[in-house]
Amino acid sequence: MELKIISFISSFLEKNISEKHLLKFQEFLLSSDIITPPINILSYFVFLFLMIELISIFLVLLLNVSPIVFISPVLIVMAFFGVAMYKREKRLSEIEKVAPDFLRQLSSILKVGLSFESAMEDMSHYGSGPLYDEMGRTLIEIRMGGNFDDCWMAMCRRLKSKEIERVFTIILDSRKSGGGIANVIMDISNDLRDVLALKRERKSSVMMAVMFLVISAVIASPFSLGMVSVYAGFMESFGKTSEVISIGPLAGELYLIIHSFLIGLIISVILYGDFKKGIKFSIPLVLISFLIFYGIANFIGPMLFAG
């Protein structure tokens, strides 16, 4: 039964989602080392969303669970993208780590007298890692009739690194000009090593501000809002209810989720200068802060008042 539903959802999505968007999603998955077809992932997301929403309706209506459970499918989807972006950042970190040595090796092979394409093939055969894999993919595209310049620049874009894309663009321009490309690549390798070292130093210099934001998201806010929820329950137990007291815990939950999510974006801006990478910080912060809030509101707080 489940497979039939998944198959129906998959057929529906294939008819209503353009191939252009599916290709973009596939490139995102491949850059995160996820080889599952994009239509399968989207189908399971839709199926999971429907099942969790049905279960949430049952929990809210019959067991009086907080309506906040309705956003749980969104958190699951965000968690998936958070993991995917984490894997992509890990892949990027590995690429940047080996890039200077990769360029130095390429320069040495060119000095021996091999052509640029032969040097690329040699490195793709005897090297390992995502950078060497991308080199092999580029060679296959060239052999299938692709233009060298277009395939080279497509590889630069797939690497998702501004520094490496800039370096590879310089290499392509040097190849076109016909100059001493081996010496150019060696100089670029040394410059790239210095740039990446400065990048690591910049990241370590702002860790104090990052730690302050993390403490705010996972300790200060969950604790204070959790105690507000406990106080609201304490007042209701004495029959002193109002609309503010009743809606207070739910408002606190929503505020906590939004606050933790935005903290993740701010951390991304501090570390990378780009809020788009913040999803990999936002998801863990939202989950951890909400768990702490839930524990204080439902277990620790009532125990303190009971004591």
- What is the per-residue pLDDT across 16-39, written as a single tens digit (0 to 9) for each? 888 888 888 888 887 777 888 888
pLDDT at 2 exceeding the cut of 60: no
Of 188, 13, 160, nearest to 84 (Cα)? 160
Indicate the average pLDDT of the chain.
Answer: 80
- What is the per-residue pLDDT across 229-242, written as a single tens digit (0 to 9) for each? 777 777 766 667 76
Longest dimension (CA), the chain: 88
Tokens of 89: 């950042």
- What is the per-residue pLDDT across 33-69, written as a single tens digit (0 to 9) for each? 788 888 888 888 888 888 888 888 887 777 776 676 7
Name the pLDDT band for 307 (thresholds 50, 70, 90): low
* φ and ψ at residue 113, rounded to 5 degrees: 120, 0
